[in-house]
A and B are shown apart, each in its own frame.
Chain A
Amino acid sequence: MMRRRGFLQQITVGGGVLAAGMLPYGLARLLAPPVKADPHTHLRPPGALEGDAAFVDACIGCGLCAEVCPPRCIRFYGREGGDRVNTPYIDPEVKACILCNKCMEVCPTEALTERPRDEIDMGIAQIDRAACYPWVDRGICGACVSICPLGDRAISFEMWNQYRPIVKQACVGCGLCVEVCPEPSLPIRVVERSQGTVVQHSI
């Protein structure tokens, strides 16, 4: 009888201690409600590990990448990020990456690994030819082509129309074209490489 009571007491105390140990994580979880982040327009900084799970594994949330970023384009997921909380992202519509490599140099973990500028893969720019001004003959522009840090290897004009932009495979997805695009609906955006460089409209 006594042994059973002692066992029950031990179980209760153990459970209580475990609950108290869980308290900080419970609090952190409670204070960070799982709201889905919108990864649609969010890019990881250049040199990020492939696959978002691998990146979240490696990132310790120190914020160094943002601190050294000259255009200050790197922002952080807050409570809306769920498990991605405190990990960095770039929203090229607000401020785009200039491919200066500083964040890769400063990252203490392998989350952002140093690589040459041409081998960065943040995605690829995709153009909606039904909205872009020159493509719908609503004027001349060329903002995206003139800002591109990789030059005409990544984006250039169409052969027969001097102002219709065409994205090429050398594009690394830095998003500067998205930042400068004057059309309010942003016909140019950065997407995953597999999705291609032209928006496919279904009829």
Chain B
Amino acid sequence: MTEPIKRPFLFRRHLNKLRWLSLGLVFAMLVVLPFLSVYQTYVAAHAYDLLPPSDKKLYDIMETLSSPFVDDPATDLDAIKGTTWSGTFFGYKISDPLAVVGQTAAGLTVYWPFVLSALVPVLLTLALGRFFCGWICPATFLYELNTNLAAWLRKAGFRLGHLHFDRRLKYLVLALGVVLSAVTGSVLVAAIYPPAIIGREIYYAVALGGFGAGAVFFVMTLLFDLLVAQRGFCRYLCPGGALYSLLGRYRPLRIRRVVEDCNDCVKCNAVCEFGLDPMRDDFGQECNNCSACIAVCPTDALVFTIHIKDLPDQGAGHLGRHYRKVHEAEALRQETG
């Protein structure tokens, strides 16, 4: 029986849990909001007596949940509406930058009120990088669960696909999507962008009585991730991820490896959802600051820093076997020679 290693509490090591909390909250919100919408309909219609028993139960539950907070559910519950694609948040309209890009391309006109609704997300992305992908995106919630499923299946002996493609493919998808949107005149990127699909389909399923066409596409992407390339859609194909990567290229907040503390254990590379190479200081514009590598690092060698560029490859970690071997040989040579 070995004693567990006692380490001081480091906040950054627990950011990954906070991230899961954030992802879970966003997803839960996307599920609750359609139910709220249905409930508000009942309130507006004053037709409780006409409801079938199952709907009466829904009405009662939502009334119990919301009555401590609001007096007039029909209007007061409108404070938060929508999805991550586009929504209103206490009167402020917030839209996905990809929605703005797609809609501007489709209409070939710039509608400033809509463009400005993406201002806050764009500014945050400029500062924090592709954080939407790691911290908010409702599809990430399902994709990461899918990754865990893949790990279990591998453990159980299934051989799943592990292909690698060129990461720059998604910029082509983004460019094609914008061009095709402009040519066809409808916002095509919305049809293949997983967070938009998730928000929409949950609403369709809850309020309109069934999933639409997007659900099939999303299940296909899940299967693609599971059977062809791990986390493949986000890594290689997602147009929104491409846009966020471009915006976050010179983000000031990035993760850095402290080479003096690194022991070359490669856990960070193994845990990175986007297949990056933190152990060789290769984060790049794809990193979404999700902090999974920070959480897994056994020597706390990964930290957040304020800098607009990654460090060049710092070489082997000083606690690693390779560095020590070279270093000790060097020291020995100096002693003898």
A70 and B74 contacting across the interface, CB-CB below 8 Å? yes
| Residues of chain A within 8 A of B81, CB atoms compared | 64, 67-68, 106
B45 and A63 contacting across the interface, CB-CB below 8 Å? no
B41 and A71 contacting across the interface, CB-CB below 8 Å? yes
A64 and B103 contacting across the interface, CB-CB below 8 Å? no
| Residues of chain A within 8 A of B175, CB atoms compared | 21
Interface residues of A in 12-71 (CB under 8 A from B): 17-18, 20-25, 27-28, 31-32, 53-54, 56-64, 66-71
Q: Is A149 close to B, CB under 8 A?
A: no
Q: Is B300 close to A, CB under 8 A?
A: no
Q: Is A108 close to B, CB under 8 A?
A: yes
A31 and B41 contacting across the interface, CB-CB below 8 Å? no
B86 and A62 contacting across the interface, CB-CB below 8 Å? yes
Q: What does DSSP make chain B's interface, helix, strand, loop or mixed?
A: helix
Q: Is A129 close to B, CB under 8 A?
A: no
B86 and A64 contacting across the interface, CB-CB below 8 Å? yes
Using known A-B contacts A61-B190, A62-B82, determine if residue A70 contacts B177 with beta carbons closer than 8 Å. Answer: no
Using known A-B contacts A21-B173, A62-B99, determine if residue A31 contacts B111 with beta carbons closer than 8 Å. Answer: no
Q: Is B323 close to A, CB under 8 A?
A: no
For B37, give the chain A residue with the smallest CB separation: A67
Which of A21, A60, A70 contacts B86 (CB under 8 A)? A60
Using known A-B contacts A27-B220, A86-B191, determine if residue A58 contacts B180 with beta carbons closer than 8 Å. Answer: no
| Residues of chain B within 8 A of A59, CB atoms compared | 186-187
| Residues of chain B within 8 A of A31, CB atoms compared | 213, 216-217, 220
For B40, give the chain A residue with the smallest CB separation: A70
Query: Which of A17, A57, A110 has the most B CB atoms < 10 Å from its CB?
Result: A57
Q: Mark A71-106, 1 if CB is under 8 A from B, else 0.
A: 110011011000111110000000000000010001
| Residues of chain B within 8 A of A17, CB atoms compared | 166, 169, 172
A70 and B44 contacting across the interface, CB-CB below 8 Å? yes
Q: How far is the CA of A70 from the CA of B47 in the complex (A)?
A: 12
Q: Mark B160-174, 1 if CB is under 8 A from A, else 0.
A: 000001100100110
A110 and B114 contacting across the interface, CB-CB below 8 Å? yes
Which of A62, A71, A102, A108 contacts B45 (CB under 8 A)? A71
A85 and B213 contacting across the interface, CB-CB below 8 Å? yes
Q: Is A161 close to B, CB under 8 A?
A: no
For B204, give the chain A residue with the smallest CB separation: A76
B107 and A63 contacting across the interface, CB-CB below 8 Å? no
Category for how many chain A residues contact B: 35 or more
A109 and B203 contacting across the interface, CB-CB below 8 Å? no
A25 and B192 contacting across the interface, CB-CB below 8 Å? yes
Query: Which of A31, A62, A70, A86 has the most B CB atoms < 10 Å from its CB?
Result: A62
Using known A-B contacts A60-B86, A62-B85, A106-B88, determine if residue A32 contacts B191 with beta carbons closer than 8 Å. Answer: yes
Nearest CB on A from B208, distance (A): 6
Which of A21, A27, A32, A86 contacts B172 (CB under 8 A)? A21
B83 and A62 contacting across the interface, CB-CB below 8 Å? yes
Interface residues of B in 13-34 (CB under 8 A from A): 33-34
Q: How far is the CA of A109 from the CA of B83 in the complex (A)?
A: 15
B212 and A58 contacting across the interface, CB-CB below 8 Å? no
A70 and B85 contacting across the interface, CB-CB below 8 Å? no
Q: Is B184 close to A, CB under 8 A?
A: yes
Interface residues of B in 177-197 (CB under 8 A from A): 177, 180, 184-188, 190-192, 196
| Residues of chain A within 8 A of B188, CB atoms compared | 25, 28
Q: Mark B230-243, 1 if CB is under 8 A from A, else 0.
A: 00000001010000
Q: Mark B80-102, 1 if CB is under 8 A from A, else 0.
A: 01110111100001010001001
Q: Is B257 close to A, CB under 8 A?
A: no
| Residues of chain B within 8 A of A21, CB atoms compared | 169, 172-173, 175-176
B213 and A58 contacting across the interface, CB-CB below 8 Å? no
Q: Is B106 close to A, CB under 8 A?
A: yes
Q: Is B117 close to A, CB under 8 A?
A: yes
Q: Is B78 close to A, CB under 8 A?
A: yes
B187 and A60 contacting across the interface, CB-CB below 8 Å? yes
Nearest CB on A from B215, distance (A): 10
Using known A-B contacts A62-B86, A64-B82, determine if residue A85 contacts B191 with beta carbons closer than 8 Å. Answer: yes
| Residues of chain B within 8 A of A56, CB atoms compared | 106, 185-186
Nearest CB on B from A81, distance (A): 9
| Residues of chain A within 8 A of B33, CB atoms compared | 67
Additional A-B contact list (5), CB under 8 Å, known A17-B172, A62-B196: A28-B192, A56-B106, A56-B185, A61-B85, A86-B190
